[in-house]
Amino acid sequence: MKSHPFRIFAAYYYKWNKLPPTLSFHSHPQYEVYYFHGGRCDYLLGDRIIPLQSGDLIIMNGMTRHCPKIDRSTEYVRTTFSFDPHLVQLFGPELLACSPLKPFEQLRNHHIRLSPAAKAECEDILQRINRFYYSNDVVHHYRLLSAFYDLLLLICEQCREDMESNRSTATDRERYVQNMIAYIEEGYMEDIELERMAADLHMNRFHLMKVFREVTGLTVFDYLYRRRVNQAKILFYQSDRNSVTDVGYMVGFKHLSHFSRVFKKQVGMTPDQYRKLVRELSYTAYN
DNA sequence: GAGAGATCGATAGGTGTTCC
DNA sequence: GGAACACCTATCGATCTCTC
C-alpha cells in the first residue's frame, strides 16, 4: 500500500515505550479517527483537554489543532486513521444512504468511551485496516475500503445517542471555521475571494484569516488548494478518461499551469504522472 | 503534425503579518 | 477588530516535450 497512488488513507498503529516521537499541535483537511489502546495520555483538542482511558475513541474533523500529551513513564499505544472525507464517494449511493460521515459532520470533534464489546470490535477492524494498509495486493486494497466502511458504521452506531440529542462541543471559534469550511465546500470549484467570503459570512476579512489560521494552522487558500487537489485525485481515480486539463478546470483552477504547479507541490508528482499510476493500478485490478 | 501537458518568467493583485 | 504594507503567488503567455 505504501507505493499505492491513492494516498488519501493514512493508518498508523503506534507503540512506544522508549524515545518519544515528535508530537506537536497540527491540523489537516482530512478527517481523523484516533484510538487509544493503552498508556497514560491526555489529548489536547483545540482548547479542550481529554484524559484518555484504554478503549477511548476520538473522531476529529482534522481542522481543529490537536495532539496527544503522553506520560513518558509508561508504554503508549494508539492507532490513528485519517482519510479524505470525499473518499466516501467511492462507495456509491446505496452505501452512502446511511450517511456514514454524519458523526464527523454533526459532532465534528467527539470523544467516545467504548464498551468492552465495542472495544473488541473496534480493535478487530483497526487490525484489519492496519494489515491491508501496508499490502500492495489490489484485493487487499478493496478489503481496506470495506474495513474502512465498517469502521464508519461502528462510529455511527456509537454516536447515535449524542447525534439524536444534537450535542455539539464546538467552541465559537471552531464554529466560525466550520462556516468557512462549509463556504469553501460549496464554492471551491468556482472563484473564491476572501473579501466576498468575509462579506457573505458577515465577518471582517482580517479577522476571518486570523481565526482560520489560529484554529487550523493553515491559511484559507492552503485549505482551498488541498481540497481541490484531493478532489482532482478522486476524479482521476473515478475515471482515467478524465484529461488533466478537464480535471484542472473541474476542481476550480483557471489555468493548467497553476493546477500542475499546485498538484506537484502537494503530491510530489505531476497530475499526468498521477493519472498514469492510477491507470496502471486499474489495469492490474482487471487483469 | 497536432494536441495535450509541463515548465518558466514577468507582473499585477491579493494575502499574510505586524502593529495599533 | 481594523489598517498598512511587504511579499508572495495566481495569472497569463510563450515555449518546449511527449505521445498518438
Separation between the CA of A243 and the C1’ of B3 (whole angstroms): 12
Separation between the CA of A140 and the C1’ of C5 (whole angstroms): 54
Report the candidate in A184, A280, A286, A275 with the shortest Cα–Cα distance to residue A235.
A275
10-residue mean pLDDT series, chain A (287 residues): 40 52 54 86 68 88 69 78 77 80 83 90 88 79 86 91 66 70 76 72 73 71 77 72 76 77 76 72 47
DSSP 8-state code for residue A32: E
DSSP 8-state code for residue A83: E
Provide the domain limits for residue A181: 170-217
Q: How many domains does chain A have?
A: 3
Place of cell 469502521: A151
Whether A31 and A161 share a structural domain: yes
User: In the structure grid, which three cell numbers stand for residue A141, read together?
Assistant: 486494497
Q: How many CB atoms lie within 10 A of CB A287?
A: 6
pTM: 0.60
| Nucleotide closest in space to A203 (CA vs C1') | C1
pLDDT value for A120: 92
pLDDT value for A5: 36
Whether A43 and A97 share a structural domain: yes
Whether A146 and A249 share a structural domain: no
CA distance A216 to A223: 9
CA distance A282 to A287: 9
pLDDT value for A280: 62
pLDDT value for A3: 35
Question: A141 in the Ramachandran plot: left (φ > 0), alpha (ψ -120 to 50) or beta?
Answer: alpha
DSSP 8-state code for residue A17: S
For residue A221, say whether its CB is under 7 Å from any atom of strand C. Answer: yes
For residue A81, say whether its CB is under 7 Å from any atom of strand C. Answer: no
Residue A141 sits in a domain whose CATH number is 2.60.120.280
Whether A213 and A224 share a structural domain: no
User: In the structure grid, which three cell numbers stand for residue A35, read together?
Assistant: 484510538
For residue A261, say whether its CB is under 7 Å from any atom of strand C. Answer: yes
> Is A4 a member of any domain?
no
Q: CB within 8 A of A16, min separation 6: which ones?
A: A70, A75, A76, A77
Whether A23 and A127 share a structural domain: yes
